[in-house]
Structure 1
Amino acid sequence: MSDMAKNLILWLVIAVVLMSVFQSFGPSESNGRRVDYSTFMSELTQDQIREARINGREIDVVKKDSNKYTTYIPVDDPKLLDTLLSKNVKVVGEPPEQPSLLASIFISWFPMLLLIGVWIFFMRQMQGGGGKGAMSFGKSKARMLTEDQIKTTFADVAGCDEAKGRG
């Protein structure tokens, strides 16, 4: 496989991983429309709400006509639960969503692993020219030749400007 194909596959894998990370950690889309809190409270006082699922500061509402929507609690409202119960609304409490242990570890270690990966990439790029690594600058590639190994004569290079003497 050619280097270009390997690079293309690598970038495709990186793109897929990044898209899946942003998809899983990005904002979640709720099923239904969003309604402001004051509309929710007015519908609550008019007995139009059948069920309220409370998840942290978010409330998923099911109206008596089976329409659904989501609203957010802007501030802590200590009377909200009492009002819901007094209007005979079914209240369902859900624990706030916690990221998984794997996601937490990934989020905390990803920046450091990315920096280490970039550092390794640059170190490998730097040693590409020398062939033996970053510390091979002191090692000479010159070979010692004896007189019987020399096969080039002055006649072979007589036409070259470099072989002509100055003066």
Structure 2
Amino acid sequence: MSDMAKNLILWLVIAVVLMSVFQSFGPSESNGRRVDYSTFMSELTQDQVREARINGREINVTKKDSNKYTTYIPVNDPKLLDTLLTKNVKVVGEPPEEPSLLASIFISWFPMLLLIGVWIFFMRQMQGGGGKGAMSFGKSKARMLTEDQIKTTFADVAG
């Protein structure tokens, strides 16, 4: 395989890994539509809410007509839980999502692996050219001629 093909494959693999990492850290897709908090509170007072799944500041709401939407608590509302319980709404608390083990290992090791990769890249670049190595600039390519080798003189090549 040629060097250009190897480099292209390497860059494609790096791009795919980076895109998958950024995708895993991006915002998760929530089911349903987004509704503002005041609309949620008005529907709650009108007894239209059947279930509320609370995950941090996010609330996934299921209405009594089975419609679903997501809302966010703008400020810490201490009366929200009391209101939900007095309206006989099923309240489900969910733990916040934590990054996967693979993602946390990747985050901690990525800077070191990046530095090692850059170092290897530069070492390979220095080996290119005439020398076959980083410290080969002083080596001579001269050869000793012996008597039995054919000698070409100026008279042989002059026109």
TM-score for both structures, normalised by structure 2: 0.89
Per-residue Cα deviation, 1:64-88 (whole angstroms, up to 9, x for no partner): 1111000111111111111111111
Contact 2:54 2:94 in 1 (8 A): yes
* Structure 1 residue 150, shift from structure 2 partner: 5.5
* Structure 1 residue 19, shift from structure 2 partner: 2.3
SS across alignment from 2:84: helix
Contact 2:32 2:70 in 1 (8 A): yes
* Structure 1 residue 15, shift from structure 2 partner: 2.7
* Structure 1 residue 28, shift from structure 2 partner: 0.9
TM-score for both structures, normalised by structure 1: 0.85
Per-residue Cα deviation, 1:24-54 (whole angstroms, up to 9, x for no partner): 2211111110111111111111111100001
* Structure 1 residue 147, shift from structure 2 partner: 4.1
SS across alignment from 2:148: helix
Contact 2:21 2:103 in 1 (8 A): no
Distance (Å, rounded) in 2 between the aligned partners of 1:102 and 1:3: 31
Distance (Å, rounded) in 1 between the aligned partners of 2:12 and 2:36: 41
Distance (Å, rounded) in 1 between the aligned partners of 2:156 and 2:125: 39
Distance (Å, rounded) in 1 between the aligned partners of 2:156 and 2:10: 50
Q: Which has the higher contact order (CA 8 A, sep 6+)?
A: 2
Q: State how many pairs are aligned.
A: 159
* Bigger Cα Rg: 1
Distance (Å, rounded) in 1 between the aligned partners of 2:154 and 2:5: 48
* Structure 1 residue 148, shift from structure 2 partner: 4.0
Distance (Å, rounded) in 2 between the aligned partners of 1:82 and 1:156: 107
Distance (Å, rounded) in 2 between the aligned partners of 1:96 and 1:111: 27
Alignment RMSD (CA, Å):
1.8
Q: Which ranges in structure 2 are unaligned for 5 or more consecutive residues?
A: none
Contact 2:35 2:71 in 1 (8 A): yes
* Structure 1 residue 153, shift from structure 2 partner: 2.0
Distance (Å, rounded) in 2 between the aligned partners of 1:9 and 1:101: 27
Distance (Å, rounded) in 1 between the aligned partners of 2:126 and 2:113: 20
* Structure 1 residue 125, shift from structure 2 partner: 1.3
* Structure 1 residue 63, shift from structure 2 partner: 0.6
Q: Which ranges in structure 1 are unaligned for 5 or more consecutive residues?
A: 160-167
Q: Which moved more, 1:13-22 or 1:60-69?
A: 13-22
Per-residue Cα deviation, 1:97-126 (whole angstroms, up to 9, x for no partner): 011122111012213312321221122112
Q: Which moved more, 1:115-124 or 1:71-80?
A: 115-124
Q: How does 1:118-137 map to 2 (within 5 A)?
A: 118-137=118-137
- Determine the structure 2 residue equivalent to 1:21: 21
